[in-house]
Amino acid sequence: MTIHIGAEPGQIAETVLLPGDPYRARWAAQTFLQGAELVNETRGMLAYTGTWKGNRVTIHGSGMGMASMSIYANELIRDYGAKTLIRIGSAGAMQAHVQIRDLVIAMTASTLSTPSAGILRDLNLAPCADWGLLHAAVTAARARGARTHVGSIYSSDVFYDERPDLNEIMTRHGVLAVEMEAAELYLVAARHQARALAVLTISDHLLTGAALPPSEREQSFGDMVETALQAAFA
Protein backbone atom coordinates (compact mmCIF):
# COMPACT_ATOMS: atom_id res chain seq x y z
CA MET A 1 0.00 0.00 0.00
CA THR A 2 1.03 3.60 -0.60
CA ILE A 3 -0.31 6.95 0.54
CA HIS A 4 -2.61 7.16 -2.49
CA ILE A 5 -3.13 3.53 -3.56
CA GLY A 6 -4.66 1.01 -1.18
CA ALA A 7 -4.01 -2.11 -3.26
CA GLU A 8 -2.15 -4.98 -1.63
CA PRO A 9 1.12 -6.27 -3.10
CA GLY A 10 0.39 -8.31 -6.21
CA GLN A 11 -3.01 -6.74 -6.88
CA ILE A 12 -1.73 -4.34 -9.55
CA ALA A 13 -0.84 -5.79 -12.94
CA GLU A 14 2.30 -4.91 -14.89
CA THR A 15 0.04 -3.35 -17.56
CA VAL A 16 -2.05 -0.39 -16.38
CA LEU A 17 -4.56 1.67 -18.32
CA LEU A 18 -5.02 5.16 -16.90
CA PRO A 19 -8.25 7.06 -17.52
CA GLY A 20 -8.48 10.35 -15.70
CA ASP A 21 -12.04 9.74 -14.51
CA PRO A 22 -12.39 6.95 -11.89
CA TYR A 23 -15.91 6.22 -13.18
CA ARG A 24 -14.45 5.67 -16.64
CA ALA A 25 -12.06 3.19 -15.02
CA ARG A 26 -15.04 1.33 -13.56
CA TRP A 27 -16.90 1.34 -16.88
CA ALA A 28 -13.86 0.15 -18.84
CA ALA A 29 -13.10 -2.62 -16.35
CA GLN A 30 -16.68 -3.87 -16.30
CA THR A 31 -16.92 -3.68 -20.09
CA PHE A 32 -13.58 -5.07 -21.25
CA LEU A 33 -12.04 -7.16 -18.45
CA GLN A 34 -12.93 -10.62 -17.23
CA GLY A 35 -13.08 -11.14 -13.47
CA ALA A 36 -12.51 -7.46 -12.73
CA GLU A 37 -11.89 -6.92 -9.01
CA LEU A 38 -11.87 -3.56 -7.22
CA VAL A 39 -8.33 -3.18 -5.82
CA ASN A 40 -8.27 0.49 -4.87
CA GLU A 41 -10.76 3.15 -3.82
CA THR A 42 -8.52 5.36 -1.70
CA ARG A 43 -9.59 8.99 -2.08
CA GLY A 44 -12.30 7.80 -4.45
CA MET A 45 -9.76 6.85 -7.14
CA LEU A 46 -11.10 3.54 -8.37
CA ALA A 47 -8.88 0.78 -9.75
CA TYR A 48 -9.79 -2.67 -11.02
CA THR A 49 -7.65 -5.66 -11.97
CA GLY A 50 -8.85 -8.43 -14.26
CA THR A 51 -7.85 -10.13 -17.48
CA TRP A 52 -8.20 -9.32 -21.17
CA LYS A 53 -7.77 -12.31 -23.49
CA GLY A 54 -5.88 -14.05 -20.70
CA ASN A 55 -3.58 -11.09 -20.01
CA ARG A 56 -3.65 -9.45 -16.60
CA VAL A 57 -4.59 -5.76 -16.68
CA THR A 58 -5.27 -3.01 -14.14
CA ILE A 59 -7.44 -0.02 -15.03
CA HIS A 60 -6.68 2.76 -12.55
CA GLY A 61 -8.03 6.31 -12.44
CA SER A 62 -5.35 9.00 -12.54
CA GLY A 63 -7.34 12.11 -11.68
CA MET A 64 -7.26 15.43 -13.50
CA GLY A 65 -4.03 17.20 -14.38
CA MET A 66 -0.33 16.39 -14.44
CA ALA A 67 0.17 16.71 -10.68
CA SER A 68 -2.32 13.92 -10.05
CA MET A 69 -0.96 11.80 -12.91
CA SER A 70 2.56 12.18 -11.51
CA ILE A 71 1.51 10.77 -8.13
CA TYR A 72 -0.19 7.70 -9.55
CA ALA A 73 2.38 6.98 -12.27
CA ASN A 74 5.25 7.19 -9.78
CA GLU A 75 3.58 4.94 -7.21
CA LEU A 76 2.36 2.40 -9.76
CA ILE A 77 5.85 2.03 -11.22
CA ARG A 78 8.00 2.31 -8.07
CA ASP A 79 5.78 0.52 -5.54
CA TYR A 80 3.71 -1.89 -7.62
CA GLY A 81 6.03 -2.79 -10.51
CA ALA A 82 3.94 -1.43 -13.38
CA LYS A 83 5.91 -1.62 -16.61
CA THR A 84 3.42 -0.51 -19.27
CA LEU A 85 1.20 2.53 -18.65
CA ILE A 86 -1.29 3.75 -21.25
CA ARG A 87 -3.37 6.85 -20.74
CA ILE A 88 -6.90 6.52 -22.14
CA GLY A 89 -8.71 9.83 -22.03
CA SER A 90 -10.49 12.65 -23.78
CA ALA A 91 -8.91 15.55 -25.64
CA GLY A 92 -9.82 18.73 -27.47
CA ALA A 93 -9.06 18.90 -31.18
CA MET A 94 -6.84 21.73 -32.43
CA GLN A 95 -6.89 20.94 -36.16
CA ALA A 96 -9.78 21.26 -38.61
CA HIS A 97 -9.31 17.74 -40.00
CA VAL A 98 -9.54 16.13 -36.54
CA GLN A 99 -13.17 15.38 -35.72
CA ILE A 100 -15.26 14.53 -32.66
CA ARG A 101 -14.82 10.83 -31.68
CA ASP A 102 -11.59 10.49 -33.71
CA LEU A 103 -8.63 8.79 -32.04
CA VAL A 104 -5.39 10.67 -31.46
CA ILE A 105 -2.27 8.65 -30.63
CA ALA A 106 0.39 10.89 -29.16
CA MET A 107 3.96 10.58 -30.43
CA THR A 108 5.07 13.55 -28.33
CA ALA A 109 3.49 15.76 -25.66
CA SER A 110 4.52 19.40 -25.39
CA THR A 111 3.82 21.45 -22.27
CA LEU A 112 4.62 24.72 -20.53
CA SER A 113 5.26 23.07 -17.17
CA THR A 114 4.99 19.70 -15.42
CA PRO A 115 5.72 18.40 -11.91
CA SER A 116 8.99 17.07 -13.36
CA ALA A 117 10.24 20.58 -14.12
CA GLY A 118 12.01 20.78 -10.75
CA ILE A 119 14.02 17.67 -11.60
CA LEU A 120 14.81 18.69 -15.17
CA ARG A 121 15.76 22.26 -14.18
CA ASP A 122 16.96 24.06 -17.30
CA LEU A 123 16.66 21.01 -19.59
CA ASN A 124 13.79 21.19 -22.08
CA LEU A 125 13.36 17.42 -22.38
CA ALA A 126 10.93 16.37 -25.11
CA PRO A 127 8.82 13.49 -23.75
CA CYS A 128 7.71 10.92 -26.29
CA ALA A 129 5.79 7.66 -26.44
CA ASP A 130 7.29 4.19 -26.42
CA TRP A 131 7.81 3.26 -30.07
CA GLY A 132 6.61 -0.34 -29.72
CA LEU A 133 3.36 0.73 -28.07
CA LEU A 134 2.88 3.55 -30.57
CA HIS A 135 3.34 1.31 -33.59
CA ALA A 136 1.07 -1.38 -32.16
CA ALA A 137 -1.65 1.13 -31.29
CA VAL A 138 -1.67 2.69 -34.75
CA THR A 139 -1.87 -0.76 -36.33
CA ALA A 140 -4.70 -1.82 -34.01
CA ALA A 141 -6.71 1.38 -34.45
CA ARG A 142 -6.50 1.30 -38.23
CA ALA A 143 -7.41 -2.39 -38.30
CA ARG A 144 -10.58 -1.48 -36.37
CA GLY A 145 -11.40 1.16 -38.96
CA ALA A 146 -11.22 3.98 -36.42
CA ARG A 147 -10.41 7.46 -37.76
CA THR A 148 -6.93 7.86 -36.33
CA HIS A 149 -4.38 10.68 -36.17
CA VAL A 150 -0.79 10.28 -35.03
CA GLY A 151 1.46 13.15 -34.00
CA SER A 152 2.07 15.77 -31.34
CA ILE A 153 -0.31 16.87 -28.59
CA TYR A 154 -0.22 19.55 -25.92
CA SER A 155 -0.57 18.79 -22.20
CA SER A 156 -1.96 21.85 -20.47
CA ASP A 157 -1.46 22.54 -16.78
CA VAL A 158 -4.66 24.62 -16.66
CA PHE A 159 -8.22 23.81 -17.69
CA TYR A 160 -9.57 27.35 -18.04
CA ASP A 161 -7.01 28.55 -20.54
CA GLU A 162 -6.81 32.26 -21.39
CA ARG A 163 -4.00 32.04 -23.94
CA PRO A 164 -5.65 32.14 -27.39
CA ASP A 165 -2.29 33.25 -28.79
CA LEU A 166 -0.69 30.01 -27.58
CA ASN A 167 -3.49 27.92 -29.07
CA GLU A 168 -2.99 29.67 -32.41
CA ILE A 169 0.75 28.98 -32.33
CA MET A 170 0.18 25.29 -31.60
CA THR A 171 -2.43 24.99 -34.34
CA ARG A 172 0.06 26.55 -36.79
CA HIS A 173 2.68 23.99 -35.74
CA GLY A 174 0.41 21.01 -36.30
CA VAL A 175 -0.42 20.10 -32.70
CA LEU A 176 -3.37 17.73 -32.98
CA ALA A 177 -5.09 18.08 -29.63
CA VAL A 178 -4.90 19.31 -26.06
CA GLU A 179 -5.31 17.32 -22.84
CA MET A 180 -3.88 17.53 -19.31
CA GLU A 181 -1.83 14.46 -18.36
CA ALA A 182 0.27 12.79 -21.06
CA ALA A 183 3.47 14.86 -20.88
CA GLU A 184 4.03 14.02 -17.22
CA LEU A 185 3.21 10.36 -17.79
CA TYR A 186 5.82 10.20 -20.56
CA LEU A 187 8.42 11.90 -18.35
CA VAL A 188 7.81 9.67 -15.32
CA ALA A 189 7.91 6.56 -17.49
CA ALA A 190 11.16 7.64 -19.12
CA ARG A 191 12.73 8.31 -15.72
CA HIS A 192 11.86 4.80 -14.50
CA GLN A 193 12.43 2.94 -17.80
CA ALA A 194 8.75 2.04 -18.20
CA ARG A 195 6.72 2.05 -21.42
CA ALA A 196 4.11 4.78 -21.88
CA LEU A 197 1.56 5.86 -24.45
CA ALA A 198 -1.51 8.11 -24.67
CA VAL A 199 -4.49 7.01 -26.74
CA LEU A 200 -7.10 9.77 -26.77
CA THR A 201 -10.64 10.26 -28.00
CA ILE A 202 -11.65 13.70 -29.24
CA SER A 203 -14.51 14.91 -27.05
CA ASP A 204 -14.32 18.65 -27.81
CA HIS A 205 -13.21 20.84 -30.69
CA LEU A 206 -11.43 24.12 -29.98
CA LEU A 207 -12.10 25.45 -33.47
CA THR A 208 -15.80 24.58 -33.86
CA GLY A 209 -17.00 24.42 -30.26
CA ALA A 210 -18.52 20.94 -30.79
CA ALA A 211 -18.51 18.69 -27.72
CA LEU A 212 -19.74 15.35 -26.42
CA PRO A 213 -22.05 15.29 -23.36
CA PRO A 214 -20.54 13.99 -20.08
CA SER A 215 -22.28 10.61 -20.24
CA GLU A 216 -20.78 9.86 -23.64
CA ARG A 217 -17.32 10.97 -22.49
CA GLU A 218 -17.46 8.29 -19.80
CA GLN A 219 -18.99 5.38 -21.65
CA SER A 220 -18.63 5.66 -25.43
CA PHE A 221 -14.88 5.32 -25.93
CA GLY A 222 -14.70 1.65 -26.87
CA ASP A 223 -12.29 2.05 -29.80
CA MET A 224 -9.81 3.83 -27.54
CA VAL A 225 -9.86 1.13 -24.85
CA GLU A 226 -9.64 -1.75 -27.32
CA THR A 227 -6.78 -0.02 -29.13
CA ALA A 228 -4.87 0.45 -25.88
CA LEU A 229 -5.37 -3.17 -24.84
CA GLN A 230 -4.30 -4.54 -28.22
CA ALA A 231 -1.23 -2.29 -28.20
CA ALA A 232 -0.21 -3.42 -24.72
CA PHE A 233 -0.18 -7.09 -25.71
CA ALA A 234 0.81 -6.95 -29.37
Please state which of the ranges 14-23, 73-82, 110-119, 197-206 shows the lowest mean pLDDT: 110-119
Is 20 known to sit in a ligand binding site? yes
In contact, 12 and 47? CB cutoff 8 Å:
yes
pLDDT category of residue 195 using cuts at 50, 70 and 90: very high
Q: Is 179 annotated as a binding residue?
A: yes
Q: Which residue has the higher pLDDT, 1 or 188?
A: 188
- pLDDT at residue number 219: 61
SS3 of 32-96: the string is HCEEEEEEECHHHCCEEEEEECCEEEEEECCCCCHHHHHHHHHHHHHHHCCCEEEEEEEEEECCC
Query: What's the whole-number average pLDDT of the chain?
Result: 95
Q: Would the pLDDT of 217 be above 80?
A: no
Q: How many CB atoms lie within 10 A of CB 34?
A: 10
Residue 180 labeled ligand binder? yes
Residue 204 annotated in ligand binding: yes
Instruction: Give the pLDDT score at 115.
Output: 85
| Per-residue model confidence as pLDDT tens digits over 150-171 | 999 999 999 888 888 999 999 9
The full set of domain ranges for the chain reads 15-232
CATH superfamily of 15-232: Nucleoside phosphorylase domain (3.40.50.1580)
Backbone dihedral angles phi then psi of residue 78, each to the nearest 5 degrees = -75, -40
Q: Catalytic residue positions?
A: 204
> What percentage of the chain carries pLDDT values higher than 70?
98
Q: Is 215 annotated as ligand-binding?
A: no
The dihedral formed by the CA atoms of 93, 96, 101 and 104, expressed in degrees to the nearest 10 = -60
4 known member of a binding site: yes
Per residue in 100-149, pLDDT (tens digit) is: 999 999 999 999 988 888 888 888 888 899 999 999 999 999 999 999 99
pLDDT tens column, 62-88: 999 999 999 999 999 999 999 999 999
121 is in an annotated binding site: no
* CA 146/CA 84 separation, integer angstroms: 23
Q: What pLDDT does 72 receive?
A: 98
Q: Apex CA 123: angle with CA 117 and CA 125, to 5°? A: 80
Kindly give, in sequence order, each residue whose CB lies less than 8 Å from that of residue 98, ignoring residues fewer than 6 positions away.
104, 149, 176, 177, 202, 205
> How many of the other CB atoms lie within 10 Å of CB of 211?
15
Q: Give residue 220's pLDDT.
A: 66
In sequence order, the β-bridge partners of residue 155 are: 179
pTM exceeds 0.75, yes or no: yes
